[in-house]
Structure 1
Amino acid sequence: MNQMTISFKTKTGMTNIRHNNRDLSEEEFKSNEHRHINRALSHENITIIKRDIREVYHDEFDDALNTYNSKQRRKDRKIEDYYKHVKKSKTLDLQREFVVSVGNKSDWEKMDFNKKREVGEALASYVRDFNERHDHLVIYNAVVHLDEDGAPHAHFNVVPIADGYKNGLSKQPSFSKALLQEGFKEKGRGQLKQFRDHEIDRIQYFMKNVNIERKLGQTNDIKDMREYKETMRQIELQKQQEEKELQHLKNEVANMSEELDKAKLEDETINAMLRLKMISETEVDKSQFEIKERGLFNNRERVVIVPEDEFDRIAMKANYSPLSNLLNDFKESILQIGFIKKLHSTILSLKNVIKEMKAEFQKEKAQLEKENRNAWSNYFKAKEEADTYKRFKSEFERYLSEEEKNEISDKIYERQEAEIEGGLWQDFDLDR
């Protein structure tokens, strides 16, 4: 029988359903985040449950919501969309994702794909079993991934459901209370550990059916937690600086846009004046003129009858002199400076700078994200080893000499320090 580790992890709030379901665009598949996916094997993935989370919210909470709203006398206290209401809440749990994996990359480098497929089917059976056992943890999306290097693993997302509330809706999404109503009565992290231990026992049952026996994982130390924290701090500072520079560039582009609008208006003014000049300089066509005499005796006079459009042209020509001076002044102050040409050149240069900065930012971001993932991985491995030391101490303490006890206590203290250092983050890894 093969021996492999069993990992059971969860994170609060965070999930990526589109990644889990491989519902990605071509551009997204090519990104660093998804390059580890072997798309030629994606058809081997096992989709277990695929529902819209909003549908689950309607099914589970609509009755309680309608009852609650019917008791509200003030319109502003009624809740129209409970999913959106929970999404904005800081106390309720919108959903929770679990990731279960069997073995590690080195284990599966020795195995053929048929074995991986067999374990994937066993994981799918476990997820279906989970859904049948837990009335207060309703799965809305579940899939087993077999298209990545390394261990086969299942992602499944649940909506936690607890009832019996006296304030607000009688039924609300709360993970801790849902576990309590499932029978896990420990408090704090003890409740989560109790739940995890129970689930790992169930996973072992399904793995034994495919000749895999659980073994404890081996981990590595984080050499310097302070170094990790400093790296995270530098990442945040870098992010803030780049956001500040990007905002500065956006402001410059906005200012340039205003200048372009102004230049466009001035350009249109120049064109109108140039058309006026052209009309005024056009020779008058006298062939269409008609001369007639009018009046009696000594008051007779000769008059010229001119077509209306020609009359307008003559009038414009007569009044052009002051406009001509204005046009010359305008050309001198605007056109000869080359303002518009200079403005276009500046904007083009600015666009190139933004493009280069964006490319550099994406490159640095990818590197920092990689360092971040490695640091998190090391942190959780160190925490796992600390838990192992605690367990060994409890099991074997009565058989050890005083000197051996002191030596183990020193090691446990070192791991506790690492755990306290890492306690600043809300997300946690339940791998053991």
Structure 2
Amino acid sequence: MVGKGSLNHNSREFYASNVDPSRSHLNIEFCHEDIRTVYHELFDDAQERFNAKQTRNDRRIEDYYKKICSSKQEKPFHEIVLQIGNKDDTGINTELAETAKKCLTEYAKGFQARNPTLRVFWSHLHMDEATPHIHIDFVPYITGSKRGMDTRVSLKQALAQLGFKGGTRSATEWNQWAQNEKQALAEIMLEHGIEWEQLGTHEEHLSVLDYKKQEREKEVRALDTTIAEKQAQVDKIERTLQSVQQQVVDLDGIENVSVKKALLSDKVALPRSDFENLLSAAKQYVVYRRQEDRLQGLLDAANAKIKQMEGIVSELKQRVTALVSDLSNVEFWHKQELDKIKSESREVRCENLMLKREQKGLMNLLRRHGIDPAKDRTREQERDER
């Protein structure tokens, strides 16, 4: 289960009504770190790099931990709670309590290695409540982010970096990851002789159409990402182009060039310094014009590529829609076929029952007239053998 996370409760800074303090010495503390220290360890360098790029003070981040605490999208940390069985089969006073403790201990010790993007800072095994269970608190984070700080808090992206990509409404990154962690615990349990009885948690395998639909959706997301990258390149080119266009020649300097007409000739004479300024301005103009033409070409090519990709995305989205429609039709057809099979099965059972009743009635009728079919068959077999 997912908990809100009460760090003081987990470390027994206070005791709830369901805790037996006389057993608290049996608890195990796997990890106990201050969350602010963990935030400094994970994010201080990224925060410094981010702030160095800002030109406005109001965009600087002074305390990343406080920023996340006030965020509406992310939480400063997440907590999971795991136990095996319940108070009736693995409770504190049962034979399996110690085995459950060993399984949970092994699971907790391997959690960080399995989940490198979920930084554990608080982890406790409780043996002073009804059933052995563990609390694991962690900070989900990603590196190499293109948005905001390059290292930042993100549960969705942290799970994605572990290989869990969101699909259907029920197959979210969190649900896929949670199922994988349950399986990891189940494998440890099996080594200790406990089999996982899945009560309402087993999901049927994806049908072929479901699989195809998810694959198309992955392709669409990948193309959306590529389009966003290309759009960023276009924005960069446009900014560079605008910068080039803003670099103009010093017209005031050229207008003030002193020109004198040569005697008995159409040529003009001007001071060497003015000539050099005019020559430099002409060269700059040629360079800027060529650079502008090249950037315009890159911009046109990038826009054409984006149009092409948008067309591909549109086509894929249509295919996904068609697959969803096909899936609905197949599910409807399967339901009809299943109803038909159930109906036919009921009719066959009824007919079979009627035949059995008729057979029984005929046997009784034959016996009343002194005929025993079973004995007759036995005599016939003996005669055939002779």
Q: Give me the TM-score of the superposition, normalised by structure 1.
A: 0.45
Q: What's the counterpart of residue 108 of structure 1?
A: 90
Shift of 1:168: 1.5
Q: What does 1:26-105 correspond to in 2, within 5 Å?
A: 29=15, 34-105=16-87
Q: 1:42 to 1:114 in 2, by over 3 A?
A: farther
Number of matched residues? 211
Q: What's the counterpart of residue 16 of structure 1?
A: 6
SS in 1 for 2:45: helix
2:160 aligned residue (154, 177, 180): 180
Q: 1:403 to 1:117 in 2, by over 3 A?
A: same
Q: 1:163 to 1:117 in 2, by over 3 A?
A: same
Q: What does 1:1-400 correspond to in 2, within 5 Å?
A: 9-11=1-3, 14-24=4-14, 29=15, 34-108=16-90, 112=93, 115-149=96-130, 151-187=131-167, 189-190=170-171, 191-217=173-199
8 Å contact 2:46–2:151 — kept in the other structure?
A: yes
Query: Quick one: which amino acid aligns to residue 102 of structure 1?
Result: I
**Over 6 Å off, 4+ runs:** 396-399
Q: 1:81 to 1:119 in 2, by over 3 A?
A: same
Task: Measure, in 1, the Cα distance between the counterparts of 2:146 and 2:49.
Answer: 13
Task: Measure, in 1, the Cα distance between the counterparts of 2:34 and 2:179.
Answer: 29
Query: Quick one: which amino acid aligns to residue 2 of structure 2?
Result: T
Shift of 1:107: 1.5
Query: RMSD in angstroms over aligned alpha carbons?
Result: 2.8
Cα displacement string for residues 351-376 of structure 1 (whole angstroms, at most 9, x for unaligned residues)? xxxxxxxxxxxxxxxxxxxxxxxxxx
Cα displacement string for residues 67-108 of structure 1 (whole angstroms, at most 9, x for unaligned residues)? 001112222221111101111111223111001110012223
Higher relative contact order, chain-length normalized (CA < 8 Å, sep 6+): 1
Q: What does 1:404-419 correspond to in 2, within 5 Å?
A: none
Query: Quick one: which amino acid aligns to residue 124 of structure 2?
Result: V
8 Å contact 2:69–2:76 — kept in the other structure?
A: yes
Task: Measure, in 1, the Cα distance between the counterparts of 2:337 and 2:84.
Answer: 33
SS in 2 for 1:132: helix
Task: Measure, in 2, the Cα distance between the counterparts of 1:140 and 1:213.
Answer: 30
Q: Give unpaired runs (5+ residues) of structure 1.
A: 1-8, 220-392, 406-432
8 Å contact 2:90–2:100 — kept in the other structure?
A: no
SS in 1 for 2:125: strand
Q: Give unpaired runs (5+ residues) of structure 2.
A: 202-330, 344-386
Shift of 1:404: 5.3
Query: Quick one: which amino acid aligns to residue 123 of structure 2?
Result: A
Q: 1:112 to 1:67 in 2, by over 3 A?
A: same
8 Å contact 1:145–1:153 — kept in the other structure?
A: yes
Task: Measure, in 1, the Cα distance between the counterparts of 2:156 and 2:40.
Answer: 21
Cα displacement string for residues 372-394 of structure 1 (whole angstroms, at most 9, x for unaligned residues)? xxxxxxxxxxxxxxxxxxxxx9x
Query: Quick one: which amino acid aligns to residue 65 of structure 2?
Result: Y
Cα displacement string for residues 168-193 of structure 1 (whole angstroms, at most 9, x for unaligned residues)? 10111111111111101123541222
Query: Quick one: which amino acid aligns to residue 7 of structure 2?
Result: I
SS in 2 for 1:104: coil
